[in-house]
Structure 1
Amino acid sequence: MGERQQILRHFLLIPFRSTDMMDKADPAQKLYNKMRLWEFPDQYVVEPTDGSSASFLAISRLDGSMSHIDEIPQCNSLRVPKIQTIYGVVGMLKLLAGSYLLMITERECVGSYMGYPIFKVTSLKVFPCDHALKGSPEEQKKMESEFSRLLNVAERTPGLYFSYDVNITLSAQRLHVLGDESKLLPLWRQADPRFLWNNYMMEVLIDNKLDPYLLPVMQGSFNTFQAAIGKDILDVSLIARRCTRRTGTRMWRRGADSDGFVANFVESEQIIQLNGYTASFVQVRGSIPLLWDQIVDLTYKPKFEIVRPDEAPRVAERHFLDLRKKYGNVLAVDLVNTQGGEGRLCEKFGHAVEPIASDDLRYLHFDFHKICGHVHFERLSILYDQIEDFLIKSR
């Protein structure tokens, strides 16, 4: 079933021109990269420890309201705070009768992007600001208890990455073409909202104008390694950015919505750096952009259901218009089988793309399982031969 998950998606290969060394984004106001959290009975106090701020951030444990204070509250035998180091404020979730802070309590440096360190979140903690619950009706308390259990799931969210210095929600090409004014904006304002995992959670901090605390977080993967070609050493980075639109688990979330946004959308980027030059290649994937569902049951292959098939051309057109606007020329490679439910999806997809196909939008079906099976990956050369001219033309 793991392989099935992959081939039910279509892949879009979008080549980016090689560029010379990327201009580095240098926001005017730096993010706090290490802080001390004081947990008092009535409030949390966040203290930047890099010496760049003369004030501290206080968050009420009653209702989550925020304010700046000039000094740490006094401690005594009745007011002994718990103190720990944190590495970022991810944001705040406001629920019916309380607010919940999410903070990074552990991190791991996993490489660099455009010369700046990239960190992986290894521990994310939720801090409740829910003392107001004490006066809430029992039914509301019960509902909040259910929400709190869901927040425990948020603490275990895998694949969260961030940087204090560069916006990893943007591809190398997008970073390169940022205007001078945009480069001076806070990182959260430069971010691509599609890949900003904590977009909603940052709203309270944005309203309170807390730019130095606003840390953009991306969900996906990030890997770097070096390779040698002769005497030359290449720095290779592989980044996958998961889209926050139409999110959901496999099988429970399929296809597109009426605006053309698809489930399981991921932007993958391969970056190669050598002797001061940078080359970037971007590829995106997502669920087939039609209105369809997969009915989850106990069978090995749950059935597909195509919803409102008459709307397929309009939905596909919106999907590809958005891709062309963001990426330029698009080559859509459909890897699904031609038999059974997948075959019906394949046929509908091909028919939906046919009226909008053009020189800058090409659709190609490649029956991956039939041609390559489980072991004959060398047969991918057949696919390469079919798409080579489009990739060369689109450089």
Structure 2
Amino acid sequence: MKLVAGNYLIIIAKKKKVGDLLNHTIWKATDFDILSYKKTMLHLTDAQLQDNKSFLTMISHVLNVDGFYFSTSYDLTHTLQRLANTSPEFQEMSLLERADQRFVWNGHLLREFAAQPEIHRFAMPVIHGFIALHSCCVNGKYFDWILISRRSCFRAGVRYYVRGIDSEGHAANFVETEQIVHYNGSKASFVQTRGSIPFFWSQRPNLRYKPKPQINKTVNHMDGFQRHFDSQIISYGKQVILNLVNQKGSEKPLEQAFQKMVSSLGNGMVRYVAFDFHKECSHLRWDRLQILVDQVSELQDEFGYFLVDVDGKIMSQQEGTFRSNCMDCLDRTNVIQSLLARRSLQAQLQRLCILHVGQRIEEQAEFEKIYKNSWADNANACAKQYAGTGALKTDFTRTGKRTQWGLVMDGWNSLIRYYKNNFSDGFRQDAIELISGKLFS
């Protein structure tokens, strides 16, 4: 990376093993070194020295945000279904060449290495998000259960500073989450996405607890909106939008505009479902989330999941995805995603004969604990990366109940978010744009 003083090389200095995914080791980067090509700084003025120091602080700030993962032998940027539908030529390519650029967080830093095949083995694509790998046992049958969230780097940033989409149709806080089961050589996968409401809107911090969202009235929203869903359909097939925002107050205009734009698409590939999460679940009535799960159950069955047997034969493909969003695509979104993922997992474990007929995941106490905690940890990771604090509502994800203590913790996290969003996120946003090559482009 080129800064004021000259070129710097950023390397992963320490790593921690997360686990093995399909016999490939997955690592979490835990420490980085930023090495200067220059032996001296004598060629810089005082002002240049100060600027260079500021840029180094910004890079360190981004690298210190938890959640950078890589593998030296496995392509973490693609889902199992995408990898299964590739050509032999694709399989021969280096991890750097074949990676899905949406999820390569060091893509800008690797641009000069991409043209030099002899050093590709040192230039690993790094994803940002969350990975949980667990060896589990149900009914005496051992299987691996894996959860991977890949954050897109194409409209990267922090809450309030980055909302909606850009002109290319890339959505803020877009995350692809894949749940994988590996049992006796068979592999099953279920993929969901989340992302900001995909038109041009903003919600800039202004010291109010909740700044009022503003829909841009000077642009043609449909161009970016169409691009967003065209790319989603190419990547994932049919789309069911689960819009969880409030249908009254300041969030109402966003819900109305979203619904109107989906209608304008006139596209049978995109369905729209609005569910006022806060209204439906008021007074701690979180059992009412089942209303939404039941409402979309037929669509979920229609989409199915990806399954490949021990011989590599594809038994079923996932034909579409649920694209969930609330305002931040963090707290409400993660709760709903965990419920849909559970429903898919129930079907997969029965088909793989891990669960007996009539058995429910909820009855498997040990696995249930792993499942709930991993989805709550996923919520916390995505929230820290976008909003600067852990997620809200994780008491429900961890325990299946909304608790008074959970409400207290949500209040505390909301206060920290308020402070960070108003007083430190500008620096965080600049730091992300520096390391992704957007600050000076």
**Alignment partner, residue 228 of structure 1:** 137
User: Is 1:116 paired with 2:24?
Assistant: yes
Q: Is the 8 A contact 1:112 1:224 kept in 2?
A: yes
Secondary structure in 1 matching 2:105:
coil
Equivalent in the alignment of 2:391: none
Secondary structure of the 1:330 match is strand
Residue ranges of structure 1 left out of the alignment (5+ in a row): 1-92
Structure 2 partner of 1:392: 301
Aligned residue among 71, 81, 91 for 1:173: 81
2:237 is the counterpart of 1:328? yes
More displaced 10-residue stretch of structure 1: 189-198 or 269-278: 269-278
User: 3-state DSSP class of the match of 1:204?
Assistant: coil
1:318-339 Cα offsets, whole Å, 9 max, x none, are 1111100111111111000011
Which structure 2 residues correspond to residues 245-394 of structure 1 after superposition, within 5 A?
Answer: 245-308=154-217, 311-373=220-282, 375-394=284-303
Taking a change above 3 Å as real, the CA distance of residues 252 and 213 of structure 1, as seen in their structure-2 partners, is: same
Structure 1 pair 102–182 and aligned structure 2 pair: CA distance change class (3 A): same
Structure 2 gap segments, 5+ residues each: 305-441
- Deviation, structure 1 residue 241: 0.3
Query: After the TM superposition, which of the residue ranges 181-190 and 382-391 deviates more from structure 2?
Result: 382-391
Amino acid in the other structure paired with 1:203: R
Answer with 232-241 or 147-156: which moved more: 147-156
- Matched to 1:390, the amino acid is L
The amino acid across from 1:190 in the alignment is R
Deviation at 1:306, TM superposition (A): 0.7
Does the Cα contact within 8 Å between 1:98 and 1:133 map onto a contact in 2? no
SS at match of 1:226: strand
Q: Which amino acid aligns with 2:289?
A: L
In structure 2, C-alpha distance between the alignment counterparts of 1:284 and 1:387, rounded to whole Å: 16
**More displaced 10-residue stretch of structure 1: 230-239 or 368-377:** 368-377
Larger radius of gyration: 1
Change (3 A) 1:114 1:357: farther
TM, length-normalised to structure 2: 0.65
Work out the CA distance in 2 between the residues paired with 1:177 and 1:264: 27
Contact 1:119–1:163 (Cα < 8 Å) also in 2 = yes
Matched, 1:217 2:126: yes
Opposite residue 284 of structure 1, the aligned amino acid is T
RMSD after superposition: 1.8
Match of 2:365 in 1: none
Deviation at 1:148, TM superposition (A): 1.9
TM-fit CA distance, 1:357: 4.3
Measure the CA separation in 2 of the matches of 1:104 and 1:336. Answer: 39
* Cα distance, 1:155–1:392 mapped onto 2, change above 3 Å: closer
Q: Deviations over 1:12-66 (max 9, x none)?
A: xxxxxxxxxxxxxxxxxxxxxxxxxxxxxxxxxxxxxxxxxxxxxxxxxxxxxxx
- 8 Å contact 2:96–2:114 — kept in the other structure? no
1:205 equivalent in alignment to 2:113: yes
- Give distance in 1, aligned partners of 2:286 and 2:146: 23
**CA distance in 1: counterparts of 2:266 and 2:29, whole angstroms:** 42
Percent of paired sites with the same residue? 34
Q: Partners of 2:218 and 2:299 in 1: how far apart?
A: 30
- Displacement after TM superposition at 1:317 (Å): 1.5
**Structure 1 residue 107 corresponds to structure 2 residue 15:** yes
Larger relative helix fraction? 2
Q: Is the 8 A contact 2:154 2:170 kept in 1?
A: yes
Q: Which has the higher contact order (CA 8 A, sep 6+)?
A: 1
Deviations along 1:114-142, whole A, 9 cap, x unmatched? 22110111111211223464224444333
Give the 5 Å matches for 1:40-119. 93-119=1-27
Q: 1:230: how far off?
A: 2.1
Pick closer, same or farther for the CA change 1:341–1:257 going to 2, 3 Å: same
SS in 1 for 2:111: helix
2 CA distance for matches of 1:190 and 1:374? 49
- CA displacement at 1:242 relative to structure 2: 0.6
Give distance in 1, aligned partners of 2:282 and 2:97.
Answer: 45
Would you tell me which structure has more strand in proportion to its own residues?
1
* Structure 1 residue identity aligned to 2:229: F
Which residue pairs with 1:163 in the alignment? 71
Measured after TM superposition, the shift of residue 212 of structure 1 is 1.9
Q: Does 1:190 pair with 2:94?
A: no
Q: Is the 8 A contact 2:164 2:200 kept in 1?
A: yes
Find the counterpart in structure 2 of residue 3 from structure 1. Answer: none
Rounded to whole Å, the distance in 2 between the matches of 1:252 and 1:374 is 32
Residue number in structure 2 paired with 1:142: 50
Task: Check the 8 A contact 1:104/1:123 in 2, yes or no.
Answer: yes
Amino acid aligned to 1:171: T
Q: 1:282 to 1:357 in 2, by over 3 A?
A: farther
Cα deviation for residue 301 of structure 1 reads: 1.1
CA distance in 2, matches of 1:207, 1:254: 34
Aligned residues: 303
In structure 2, distance between residues paired with 1:147 and 1:377: 45
